[in-house]
Every structure is written in C-alpha cells, then in structure tokens.
Amino acid sequence: MAKVLLVEDDIALREIYSARFSAENFEVVTADDGEQALSQAIKEKPDIIILDIMMPKISGFDVLDILRSTPETKNTKVIVMSALSQESDIQKGRQLGADAYLVKSQTTLSDVIAKTNEVLGGTTNQAT
C-alpha cells in the first residue's frame, strides 16, 4: 500500500481527498501548512506528496524547493495541486521539481487518483 502525504489547508478539501485516497487503498497522512508538510515528509517517508501551493507559514513552492534540496526527500514524488493556473506558476512548479502540476478548477478527484497512480508507476495501488 502506497503512502500519500496530502498537504492542503482547506479542511473540507483535505477530508474529501483523504476519504477518496483511503477508498483507493492508499495510506493517507495529512498536513495543513508548509511547516507540517516538511516535518511529515521526513517523519512519514511518503511514496508521494500531493502539495497545495497557497498555504500558511511556508508556501507550497518553498516546500517543494526544500523537499528537493533535502537528502531524505529529494526523490519523493510530488504532485502540485493548486488553484494557481497561470503558465508561469505551472512552469515554476516544474522548474522546482514537481512530477506533475494539476489545476484544482480543471481536475476531478478521479483525475487526481489517476495522475497519482501514473506518477507512482501505474500499478502501485491496484487492489488484488
């Protein structure tokens, strides 16, 4: 079972996404700000991080930059999921090392699960 760290400051979205990831057979760990995200990433060693950008304390872009420059997390898969939809934001996410960038308003829950499985290699969480 793959472990996902869901970093989202909106409690309703965090609960909805957590429930769906759990239903899809993921172990779910959550964080509601950038500081928690960094500590959880090192403590929990998730297989993948779903990372919001606009968060309290430390922005998602800064979190991603720190993750990529930290030996324990530099290879952890990261999907940015943000309301920021400008091409410059998407490019910044990619330049900082995101494995994928999803725009919240253009993405369904099913899209997030599909992209997560794709980034993890396709069959990580298929039920047996």
Q: What is the pLDDT of residues 26-54, one digit of tens each?
A: 999 999 999 999 999 999 999 999 999 99
Model pTM?
A: 0.92
Please name which of 1, 2, 76 lies closest in space to residue 37, comparing C-alpha atoms. Answer: 76
Q: Copy the structure tokens of residue 49.
A: 């991080």
Sort strands 3-7 and 77-82 into parallel, antiparallel or unpaired.
Answer: unpaired
112 near 50, Cβ under 8 Å? yes
User: If pLDDT is split at 50, 70 and 90, which confidence band does 63 have?
Assistant: very high
Task: Please give the DSSP secondary-structure letter assigned to residue 76.
Answer: S
Query: Across the chain, where does the E strand assignment appear?
Result: 3-7, 27-31, 48-51, 77-82, 100-103
Who wins on pLDDT, 19 or 125?
19
Residue with tokens 């429930």: 19
Q: What is the pLDDT of residue 122?
A: 65
In order of their start, the domains of the chain are: 3-117 (3.40.50.2300)
Residue with tokens 């309301």: 83
* CA dist., res. 114 & res. 35, Å (int): 27
